[in-house]
């Protein structure tokens, strides 16, 4: 029988458990060697149910997409431990198999059972984006991959520690399969440290409150999240709405790929059905089923931001992912570019939801992380790999203009500062600036995209890009305009070139002094452009966000009469 728990104790315990996950996040961010974790915070930690693997608590600084997928990762470990039949206190499992744990092979997952008084209480988990995990392309975003083995080294769930003793042979295998073993070792140690801290803090919490009270609090938090979600759905109109959008291509065949969603609300339940989405493709814009389900959760959390981050939120929601689609690709389908696909999933969910709740959604954000890698060897022969992602504009809303140069809405990560990148790698940023006229027009315009130009300082280097939105612009909402599309260019001896497949390319050879340039998309506009206040247009022109010509053609000449 579940123990009753008073509201004050529940609130205190909710805060304490969130703090445990937040401290685990902070521990890894401070200890990690690679900037994608240390600066961009591409990682996450949480507490998970001992039987189902459901998310109980997640840190607020990690990536939202990990809330959903890590429950699948923990369940994979639960199944593996049941198969082995010898789970012990101090065991730690490690793996990166994206078809079991979601996202892609760069995300290394560590899962540790937490025991109290000799009994399994819950699981702790840590996930972080390692800089390089082998594969054909440094940094692992290989837009030409046709199976997972061309993307990275694939590790199934294996025991890294047994009853508290680290299995060094597993570490030896991992370090032999990365171009950057020092970085990988540092990140691994940071994740192990975060798990150790989580165990220590849980020991303290259970010693103070008792296991029964803390367990009751976890149950109550999930139940209350479900009640709140049902209440939110009841406040919305019943109905069914559809939306669709496209990926540029899969990096192998230059054919657009449809992603379609139907959102249906009936009383206090919701169904998200992705029937009509393109079939599994040859290239790496497929995603595994856990990733697709987790993406639906991220979109729901954006639409209902006040709800807590645990599995109870999804109990009233049925997510239907068609078999054979690129949203449920089985192993060994390539899934390295999962970020691009889940961003489009979020776009179509928002577009469908805008009919039911236009005040809750925003226009499309820029819709691509533009995974760009530049790699080579230093003068002393040491390899270097600069992998990073890049920002763009967010969509306008019913209340305000979109954010200029933000990060993707799948994440609370930050874009690594150019000072950090220039200090770590032999490159120089010749431009890092907002991109004028890139926002979708509207009563509330979208945010501005950005321009990045990066020069190689070593004798030679090789670059690759995995992006999107080169052919299908981020859409406006409620009558707002579309944003500018993504443009990538690279410099050769005979001048500047664009990729044949627009947003994806491998094997770009660069010499010292040559550059690559990204002009990233803006966000879509919200509401008719004719309703935008002339003073707002005038401010944008004065600030260099809009050119005179664009402002006049888009919003009319009234802004010219404004004195600022």
> Looking at residue 58, what is its pLDDT?
86
The secondary element (H helix, E strand) that includes residue 454 is strand 450-456
Using CA atoms, how far apart are residues 264 and 256, in angstroms rounded to an integer?
26
C-beta of residue 37 within 8 angstroms of C-beta of residue 413: no
* Strand locations in 208-268 (E): 239-247, 257-266
Using CA atoms, how far apart are residues 242 and 23, in angstroms rounded to an integer?
41
Shortest CA distance to 70 belongs to which of 38, 132, 24, 34?
A: 24
C-beta of residue 348 within 8 angstroms of C-beta of residue 327: no
Using CA atoms, how far apart are residues 496 and 515, in angstroms rounded to an integer?
9
> Looking at residue 260, what is its pLDDT?
98
SS3 sequence of 329-355? CCCCCCCCCHHHHHHHHHHHHHHHHHH
Would you kindly state where each structural domain of the chain is located, as residue ranges?
7-226, 362-532
> Looking at residue 2, what is its pLDDT?
52
Please identify which residue in the block is written with the tokens 């008073």: 6
**Phi, psi torsion values for 282, nearest 5 degrees:** -75, -35
> Looking at residue 324, what is its pLDDT?
94
> Looking at residue 1, what is its pLDDT?
41
Residues in the chain: 564
Shortest CA distance to 427 belongs to which of 463, 391, 466?
A: 463
> Looking at residue 564, what is its pLDDT?
78
Long-range contacts of 541-546 (CB under 8 A, 24+ apart): 544/434, 544/436, 545/404, 545/434, 545/436, 545/439, 545/448, 546/436, 546/437
DSSP characters over 217-251: HHHHHHHHHHHHHHHHHHTSPPEEEEEEEEES--S
For residue 466, list its beta bridge partners: 371, 504
Using CA atoms, how far apart are residues 367 and 469, in angstroms rounded to an integer?
6
Please identify which residue in the block is written with the tokens 């657009």: 256
Using CA atoms, how far apart are residues 504 and 379, in angstroms rounded to an integer?
29
Strands 269-273 and 317-320, bridge-based pairing: parallel
> What residue ranges of the chain have pLDDT lower than 70?
1-3, 411-413
C-beta of residue 196 within 8 angstroms of C-beta of residue 204: no
- Summarised one tens digit per residue, pLDDT across range 111-130 is 999 999 999 999 999 999 99
**Phi, psi torsion values for 394, nearest 5 degrees:** -100, 160
For residue 464, list its beta bridge partners: 373
In 121-210, alpha helices (H): 168-176, 181-209
Per-residue CA distances from 196 to 21, 28, 108, 190, 373 (Å): 12, 11, 17, 10, 33
Give every CB contact of residue 57 below 8 A, 6+ residues apart in sequence: 14, 17, 18, 20, 21, 46, 47, 218, 221, 309, 310
User: SS3 for 142?
Assistant: coil
C-beta of residue 462 within 8 angstroms of C-beta of residue 433: no
């Amino acid at each position: 029988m579940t123990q009753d728990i008073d509201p004050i104790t529940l609130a205190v315990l909710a805060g304490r458990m969130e703090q445990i996950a937040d401290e685990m996040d902070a521990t890894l961010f401070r200890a990690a060697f690679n900037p994608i974790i240390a600066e961009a915070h591409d990682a996450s930690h949480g507490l998970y149910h001992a039987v189902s693997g459901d998310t109980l608590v997640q840190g607020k600084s990690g990536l939202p997409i990990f809330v959903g997928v890590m429950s699948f990762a923990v369940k994979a470990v639960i199944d593996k431990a049941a198969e082995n039949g010898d789970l012990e206190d101090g065991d730690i499992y490690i793996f990166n198999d994206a078809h079991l744990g979601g996202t892609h092979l760069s995300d290394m997952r560590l899962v540790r059972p937490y025991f109290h008084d000799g009994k399994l209480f819950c699981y702790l988990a840590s996930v972080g984006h390692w800089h390089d995990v082998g594969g054909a392309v440094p940094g692992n975003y290989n837009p030409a991959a046709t199976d997972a083995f061309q993307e990275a080294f694939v590790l199934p769930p294996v025991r890294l520690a047994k009853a508290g003793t680290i299995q060094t042979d597993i570490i030896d295998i991992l370090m032999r399969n990365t171009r950057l073993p020092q970085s990988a070792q540092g990140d691994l140690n940071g994740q192990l440290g975060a798990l150790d801290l989580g165990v220590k803090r849980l020991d303290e919490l259970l010693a103070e409150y008792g296991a029964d009270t803390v367990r009751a609090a976890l149950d109550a938090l999930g139940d209350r999240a479900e009640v709140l979600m049902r209440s939110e759905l009841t406040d919305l109109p019943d109905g069914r709405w559809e939306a669709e959008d496209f990926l540029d291509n899969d990096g192998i065949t230059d054919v657009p790929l449809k992603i379609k969603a139907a959102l249906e609300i009936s009383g206090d339940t919701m169904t998200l059905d992705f029937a009509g989405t393109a079939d599994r493709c040859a290239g790496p814009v497929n995603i595994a089923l856990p990733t697709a389900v987790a993406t639906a959760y991220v979109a729901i959390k954006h639409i209902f931001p006040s709800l807590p981050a645990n599995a109870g939120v999804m109990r009233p929601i049925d997510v239907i992912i068609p078999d054979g689609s690129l949203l449920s690709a089985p192993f060994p389908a390539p899934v390295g570019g999962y970020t691009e696909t889940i961003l489009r999933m979020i776009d179509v969910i928002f577009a469908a939801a805008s009919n039911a709740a236009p005040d809750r959604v925003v226009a499309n954000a820029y819709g691509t992380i533009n995974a760009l890698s530049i790699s080579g060897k230093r003068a002393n022969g040491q390899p270097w790999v600069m992998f990073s992602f890049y920002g763009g504009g967010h969509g306008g809303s019913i209340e305000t203009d979109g954010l200029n140069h933000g990060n993707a809405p799948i994440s609370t990560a930050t874009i690594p500062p150019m000072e950090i990148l220039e200090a770590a790698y032999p490159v120089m940023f010749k431009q890092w600036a907002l991109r004028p006229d890139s926002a979708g027009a509207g009563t509330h315009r979208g945010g501005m995209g950005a321009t990045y130009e990066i020069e190689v300082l070593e004798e030679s280097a090789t670059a690759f890009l995995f992006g999107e939105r080169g052919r299908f612009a981020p859409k406006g909402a409620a009558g707002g305009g579309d944003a500018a599309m993504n443009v990538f260019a690279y410099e050769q001896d005979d001048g500047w070139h664009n990729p044949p497949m627009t947003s994806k390319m491998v094997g770009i050879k660069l010499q010292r002094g040559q550059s690559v340039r990204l002009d990233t998309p803006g966000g879509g506009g919200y509401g008719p452009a004719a309703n935008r206040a002339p003073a707002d247009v005038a401010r944008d022109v004065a600030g260099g966000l809009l050119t005179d010509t664009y402002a006049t053609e888009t919003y009319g000449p009234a802004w010219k009469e404004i004195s600022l």
